[in-house]
Chains A and B, each alone.
Chain A
Amino acid sequence: MVFLFYFLSAIMVISALLVVFSKSPINNVIYLIICFIAMAGHYILLNAQFLAVVHIIVYTGAIMVLFLFVIMLLNLNKAIIPQKSAAARILAVVTGGLFFLVLIAATRQTFVITPRYAFTSEIGLVANVGKTLFHEFLLPFEISSVLFISAMVGAVMFGKRDHSVGDD
């Protein structure tokens, strides 16, 4: 099982790197989906079943499909955008690496700490999460619906053709 953790982690990291480095948007989406599926595996490992399911549905099912749709609708795959200059790319890699180092350094102190609480397997179950969600976080939950609506309206507004421009 421990092996499973490392296996999934390796898949995630590799696919994430491929998301960054492969040029075609379609490939990017596919690698990202692989990454997210591995992420769902991690959730299951953590016994967060509800999350795992939601993750698959929302991310892999909805968001990534949305990406795919957009790419296909706009026919983006053909028009491959030139990459940034070599210097900029090297700089990006260096910055990313630095960021990694710094974050590791920042969290290093926590490595020695061991969790104080007993590990219970039940908390990730739908029942527990649902209870917490609808007791403690009821108001944020409702407000998030407002957020959703406004996001939706916003997306529709953006998506509408701008008549004032009227050139195409």
Chain B
Amino acid sequence: MIVLVILLIPFITGLLLLLIRNAATIKLMALASAIVNLAATLSLAFSTQASSSYSVSWINFLDINFALGYDGTSLIMLSLTSLLFPFIIMAGMKREQEHPGLLYALILFTQSALIGVFLAQNAFLFYIFWELTLIPLYFILLLWGGEGRRNITFKFFIYTLTGSLFLLFGIIYLYSLTPGLHTTDFSVFSQLNIPANTQVWLFWVLFIAFAIKMPVFPFHTWQPSTYTMAPTQGVMILAGVMTKMGIYGALRFLFPIIPAGVLYWQNTVIILSLIGVIYASVIAFRQTNLKTLIAFSSMAHISLMVAAMFVLNYYALQGLLFQVLSHGITIVALFYVVMLIEEKTGTLELPKMGGIKLLAPYMAILFLLIVLGSVALPLTAGFVGEFLIITGLFQQSIWFALFGGFTMVLGAIYMLYAYQRVMLGEKRPDLENITDLKRIDYIVLIPLITLILVLGIYPQPVFNLVETSVNTMQNLLVPVADVLPSLPL
């Protein structure tokens, strides 16, 4: 039952928000809802009971239930979503925003849809929520976005939608393969013994939607421009949670259902992802727009996670799920600081910045801490995740580990470069009036940074949370290993 509550709280609050006029009340209500949701999710994560689930028959003639449930993987994603949304909402507090009622309603709708994605127990429901996330987000980007939002949002929308269309086709195809009265339950899907040759092409049908959402090189071209023009809260949702949705989808669909297809394309995808790692990192180095730079940095990190996912051994999976959490927290904190910088300087162009540390030393320190988290310095969460991921990659091949490890070097290059150009150097005459952080900024940033550090120093709870599902997943590819040689490689 509690899963239904988690799903509905943001949705209902969102509806209520549409009726309220007072901006402060709206934000407080949204925040309250997000915090209640966080509490509920944490109670799930740390409860000792068997997993809660909810199911009611929905579309009878298709035998589709409205079935919600979760496992370790979902729980990580849920925790991340519930954890980040209070901060995403707080990012708008004490700030002038147009039409706050609509904005926060849309944000909460997005949350609800995201939670739905992570809770869905059948592919049909999954798909509905998957598409549903796009609609409120589309409006957030379109209505509150920056320069060129119309074209960029359009591209983003069409691009992801195109991907989803393939997914829908894949789901229908799988549905038609189910025995007897057809069904879309994941549990039934994973029992299908799809012929290996079919799996080989089915892989791309299913994967392309996730590849676009994550995004994997070369399906990433919507991302930099979208991140750059998106409003802070929108980009936080996009980078913090939405990308993880792609990872989650891939974990749900690819590995249990078409393991042979995954095994067949494994190296291709890993190599693509590692190209993405290097490619995005190298590009990030010369970016002059801070948001674009972070967009590429995020892409590099996500690509590494994708590589880890496809390696699919124990360490890589542990690292992946840990990194999901850590990257989400770090990127939200990063974008928050970016928002602060933009507010204070009125620009995102690096050449127009500099010397801010002299005027806002505390902001500089917190920014540096987040940057360090992002470049995976030990004792930050990023390190634990990336260490395990690289360990996992190493188990597959030392070259994978080497190229994956380049994120650490290249990340240090571009992130520190960006930090230096923003914060360090001489004071600029046109940036004289910069003030340091306000109370609300501390309220947002300190917990995030604390989380980054705490997870880096004591990551154990997260490992324990996902242990079971990692153990299940890592064995998924084993039985199909024998099937593969018969395929033309």
The answer to whether any beta carbons of A and B sit under 8 Å apart in the complex is: no
Q: Give me the interface of B with A, judged by CB distance under 8 Å.
A: none
A contacts, CB < 8 Å to B:
none
